């Protein structure tokens, strides 16, 4: 009945992870988007543990992960028909719905907001863990606050060096960018964070034009200007400017990385870090590429803007966040 697990995850590891969660501990687990750092969503002390592990401000809400769509009725007391429609169409999958919360969702989970973020992940390991645990998992991305999300188990290990949580290693995350967040707290749906479920797909499924989000009504870490950032500075440059800018930086004594297609011709003295040839492989490899920039000790990473269509919107959003002003 159950979906087969990735071969590297024996069932006893899932059972062990579920036991850790029941005891109020943290488990890092793969989803189709990025790795999450999970805790029992109904155990406030456990959820607080996520915040301290990440170094994340306590007023930031976390997404509640559920095994199946029907479970949202336990976490929200008002589910508009369009939210059900999106849930039916895209779950399990890389979509998060922001809905009015029920009393089950505490302030620790929602950051004190009247809403809760809910998502049913499709990754077989996430599904197996949710099934074995038998409850809901509060889980942000398994990285330190403000840093690049992990798309491989070893990224999680690097993030929490010295204080590594139990990690279920499910290999590379297929999507590579965080879920699309659709907000139902206002008058009609709005996209708060673009992802693999595109604006066009959400609009077509809802059969209506999406509202533009009001930044004042939301408080979400992905909404901060600088986020998803490596240590190196990131600059987005138009293709015709790439060589000039790279050469200029090299001349200034900077170690320069260029994120681009394998076929890209780059100036001498720069490091080419491969992103794929199409938007989905670029999305899958972007965060690993940003980590590589730091591993190579580069000062600056240059990337050309993807076309803002389909998945390109999410890619551009994450590049812009990585290139945003630093605090």
| CA-based end-to-end distance of the chain | 49
Q: Which of 182, 170, 188 is nearest to 89 (CA)?
A: 182
Edge-first strand order for the sheet with 300-303 is 233-236, 300-303, 256-260, 270-274
CB of 28 to Mg ion, least distance (A): 13
- Segment contacting ligand TXA by CB under 6 A, of 59-67, 237-245, 287-295, 309-317: 59-67
CB of 90 to ligand TXA, least distance (A): 12
Range list of β-strands (E), the chain: 27-29, 36-40, 63-65, 95-100, 115-119, 137-138, 166-167, 180-183, 190-193, 233-236, 256-260, 270-274, 300-303
- Helix, strand, or coil (residue 10): coil
Among 28, 47, 72, 116, indicate the residue that binds ligand TXA (CB under 6 A). 116
Among 76, 218, 270, 282, indicate the residue that binds ligand TXA (CB under 6 A). 218
76 binds, among ligand TXA, Mg ion, none (CB under 5 to 8 A by kind): none
Say which residue the tokens 């950032």 belong to.
Answer: 229
Among 9, 26, 79, 98, indicate the residue that binds ligand TXA (CB under 6 A). 98
CB neighbour list of residue 10: distance below 8 Å, 6 or more residues apart: none
DSSP-derived letter for residue 223 is G
Give the footprint of ligand TXA on residues 122-141 (CB under 6 A).
139-141
Neighbouring-strand partners of residue 117? 63, 98
> Backbone phi, then psi, for 108, in 5-degree steps?
-65, -40
Among 28, 40, 60, 317, indicate the residue that binds ligand TXA (CB under 6 A). 60
Among 18, 33, 75, 133, indicate the residue that binds ligand TXA (CB under 6 A). 33
Token duo for residue 270: 């720069």
Among 18, 63, 137, 322, indicate the residue that binds ligand TXA (CB under 6 A). 63
The angle subtended at Cα 183 by Cα 178 and Cα 187, nearest 5°, is 160
Q: Which of 324, 322, 318, 272 is nearest to 298 (CA)?
A: 272
**Per-residue x/- marks for ligand TXA, 2-31, CB under 6 A?**
-----------------------------x
State yes or no: residue 221 binds ligand TXA (CB under 6 A): yes
Give the footprint of Mg ion on residues 117-146 (CB under 5 A).
141
Give the footprint of Mg ion on residues 244-283 (CB under 5 A).
none
CA distance 5 to 171: 11
**Per-residue x/- marks for ligand TXA, 166-205, CB under 6 A?**
------------xx-x----------x-------------
State yes or no: residue 34 binds ligand TXA (CB under 6 A): yes
What pairing do the DSSP bridges indicate for beta strands 63-65 and 137-138?
antiparallel
DSSP-derived letter for residue 178 is P
CB of 50 to Mg ion, least distance (A): 11
**CB closer to Mg ion, 141 vs 285:** 141
CB of 193 to ligand TXA, least distance (A): 6
64 binds, among ligand TXA, Mg ion, none (CB under 5 to 8 A by kind): none
Binding site residues, ligand TXA, CB under 6 A: 31, 33-34, 36, 60-63, 96, 98, 110, 113, 115-117, 119, 121, 139-141, 178-179, 181, 192, 218, 220-222
Binding site residues, Mg ion, CB under 5 A: 141
């Amino acid at each position: 009945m159950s979906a087969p697990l990735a071969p590297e995850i024996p069932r006893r590891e899932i059972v062990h992870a579920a036991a850790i969660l029941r005891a109020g501990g943290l488990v890092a687990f793969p989803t189709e988007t990025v790795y999450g750092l999970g805790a029992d969503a109904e155990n406030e002390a456990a959820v607080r543990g996520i915040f301290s592990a990440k170094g994340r401000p306590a007023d930031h809400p976390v997404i509640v992960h559920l095994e199946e769509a029907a479970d949202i009725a336990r976490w929200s007391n008002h589910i508009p028909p369009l939210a059900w429609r999106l849930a039916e169409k895209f779950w399990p999958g890389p979509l998060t719905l922001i809905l009015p919360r029920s009393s089950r969702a505490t302030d620790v989970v929602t950051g004190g907001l009247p809403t809760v973020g809910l998502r049913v992940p499709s990754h077989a390991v996430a599904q197996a863990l949710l099934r074995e645990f038998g409850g809901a998992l509060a889980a942000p991305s398994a990285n330190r606050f403000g840093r690049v999300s992990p798309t491989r188990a070893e990224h999680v290990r690097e993030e929490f060096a010295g204080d590594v949580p139990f990690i279920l290693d499910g290999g590379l995350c297929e999507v590579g960018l965080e879920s699309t967040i659709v907000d139902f707290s206002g008058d009609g749906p709005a996209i708060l964070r673009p992802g693999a479920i595109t604006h066009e797909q959400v609009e077509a499924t809802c059969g209506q034009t999406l509202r533009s989000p009001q930044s004042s009504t939301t408080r979400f870490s992905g909404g901060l200007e600088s986020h998803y950032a490596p240590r190196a500075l990131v600059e987005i440059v138009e293709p015709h400017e790439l060589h000039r800018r790279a050469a200029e930086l090299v001349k200034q004594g900077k170690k320069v990385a260029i994120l681009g297609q394998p076929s890209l011709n780059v100036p001498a003295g720069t490091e080419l870090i491969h992103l794929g040839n199409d938007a989905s492989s670029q999305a899958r490899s972007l965060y690993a590429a940003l980590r590589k920039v730091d591993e190579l000790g580069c000062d600056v990473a240059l990337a050309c803007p993807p076309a803002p269509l389909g998945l390109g919107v999410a890619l551009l959003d994450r590049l812009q966040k990585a290139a945003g002003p630093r605090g």
